[in-house]
Amino acid sequence: MKILGNKKAVLPIAIAAAFAFGQQPASAQGLFDMLFGGGIRHNPEGEFPPPPKPRKGQPGTGGGGGARISAPTYNTYRADRLVRVDFKSLLPAPQSATAQDAAFVPSVTGSAFGDALAGLGDYELFAEPDIAKALIAYYSANPDFIWVTGDSPNSRAQDAVRVLGEAASYGLTPADYSVDVPTTATSAAPEERIKELVRFEMALSARVLRYAHDAQSGRVDPNRMTGYYDFPAKPLDLEGVLKTLAHTQEVRTYLESRHPQNPEYQALRVELESLDASEENEIVVDPKLLLKPGESSPELPKLLTLIARSLDDEMGGDYGEVLARLGKSEVYDPELVPVIKAVQQRAGMKGDGVIGPRTVATLAGTSKADKIGKVKVALEELRWLPSDLGSPRVFINQPAFTASYIENGEEKLKTRVVIGKVTNQTAFFYNQIKQVDYHPYWGVPQSIIVNEMLPRLRSDPGYLDRAGYEVTDSRGQRVPSAAVDWGAYGAKIPFSVRQQPSEANALGELKILFPNKHAIYMHDTPQKSFFERDMRALSHGCIRLQDPRGMAAAVLGTSVDYVAEKLKHGHATENVTRVIPVYVAYFTAWPDMSGKVEYFDDVYDRDSRLMQALDATEAVRAPST
């Protein structure tokens, strides 16, 4: 530890140390006011004072002055290149011309498969490396047709081809799975017919395996897109897929079972089908419209028409007469303000009466093309998650700024949340809830220490002591913040910082943990006003809950009164004894519990990045045969 050498600092350091290592007496606030002028400044997460402007010759600014801990980045996605399937190990051993003439009788019965393999000698079939490997392994161990019976494709093949052709209904691209099917009637010579059939066999198996993989795991590897995505692999036994298909007539059932089997996936599919069949909105409103009471715009009548169309009995009774009278007005008359406020509040917005882009999106919706894009992205993202999402579960949808506790198909709690700022984005992953902390300590992340605290600490090393934080060294020993030469360190600081439990603690009174490498959890916050905002991407990455007591009670399987009683007894930890998965998810299209799909703004611009990855994958697959 590097200690400051200024003798004038000895007394303040000693006093700070006394308070840091013991219980602060009731008069501590007054003493801090006297010593430091202004008392203890508690700063919630993300609200640290800005660093002071540097002065010439100012001490404590050496070391790694410009060091920062960087957030994850987004990568230009590059899909794996396809490889040519190497059929050499399947080909029959060469024979002498005389023996070959005597032994070879073109046939599609008996030893037909072995006879047909010669037709793969110069066949160029391209597939993903693991699929190419699985094809050879399977047919080496199982030298027989799956998709051919007699001299034509069988019913199993017909079912498979139909399923592959319906890929678009799942938001997939049918061209990725297309296969040329041999015609039933043919005048080709027996040798040519067998060659055609064996090549069809291999091509269909390759595309069926691609389909099964894509249905189960998605077309892209999300973890390669960005460090903000964190998903475990979903292994698929490719040889096992072919073995199953070779011994079942329920090909459709099996292939469709590879897709996620949850109501949300089905609701998104229904929405996609509905969108494909729908007409584009005939009323298009400027998405950047900004209109305050008293102002005018030719876009206003369009919005009012859309409101009038969707009036229910309650809204119609309250506002029907006003809309009938002013529905064609381009002036935002004060009489219309209650109408707009009511519509905003119904959509979960603030209800301020100002017509802006969010209000326009709520009323006019997004275009058909945008909705289709969001649904396809959502289907892909849902394939990254477990097929069965589990019950009970906690589902956080970042673009919706909500967290829900769901059990037995019922949303028993839904609360507003604050998520990470664009510069401190919340990751997309899933985990399992482990414990609830009452009156928690807040262990300050290294990124916040380096990026936000360190600039001030270099000029004001006692800041943490005055602000109620504890500093410990690498051995876990408490040290006064004022005794550390913070200017000697860059991005690697050998100290930990934590904030003591208090009402002003950045985590408030509750923390709900699901250990993960991103150090993200759900917690309370003293900044209650943030929940009144429509756009709530405001934190350092953790999930702030508007109703933390309700969520704690839900995951513990108890009551809010129980949680309130526990909070009366100070700092404590309680384990969650049930298996409760938590999804820190990111869906700009997501169905509510009734199956109605809602659309949200792409806060972090992640949809376009996923579309780039999907385009890159399609480009690699396009030349495949």
| Residue intervals in the chain for CATH 1.10.101.10 | 282-364
Q: What is the reported pLDDT for 528?
A: 94
Cβ-based neighbours of 597, under 8 Å, separated by 6 or more: 267, 268, 271, 375, 589, 590, 591
Strands 410-420 and 537-539: parallel
Question: pTM for this structure?
Answer: 0.79
Fold (CATH) for 282-364: Muramoyl-pentapeptide Carboxypeptidase; domain 1 (1.10.101)
Greatest Cα pair distance, the chain, in angstroms, is 109
Each residue's pLDDT tens digit, 474-498 = 888 999 989 898 888 888 889 999 8
Architecture of domain 389-440+501-587 in CATH? Beta Barrel (2.40)
CA 122 to chain centre: 44
| Residue intervals in the chain for CATH 2.40.440.10 | 389-440+501-587
Strands 152-153 and 229-230: unpaired
Amino acid at site 602: D
Residues of the chain below pLDDT 50: 1-64, 97-110
Q: Which of 318, 308, 353 is nearest to 332 (CA)?
A: 353
Q: What is the reported pLDDT for 268?
A: 98
As a whole number of angstroms, the distance between CA 471 and CA 460 comes to: 15
Residue 329, CB-side half-sphere exposure with 13 Å CA sphere: 16
Q: Which of 153, 12, 47 is nearest to 442 (CA)?
A: 47
Q: What is the reported pLDDT for 124?
A: 95
Q: What is the reported pLDDT for 432?
A: 98
CB–CB of 213/131 below 8 Å? yes
Q: What is the reported pLDDT for 66?
A: 62
Q: What is the reported pLDDT for 93?
A: 67
Q: What is the reported pLDDT for 624?
A: 56
State both tokens at 205: 């198996």
Alpha-carbon dihedral sign for residues 556, 558, 561, 566: negative
CA 151 to chain centre: 48
Q: Which of 377, 390, 404, 438 is nearest to 543 (CA)?
A: 404
Each residue's pLDDT tens digit, 402-439 = 999 999 999 999 999 999 999 999 999 999 999 999 99
Residue 161 — φ and ψ, nearest 5°?
-60, -40
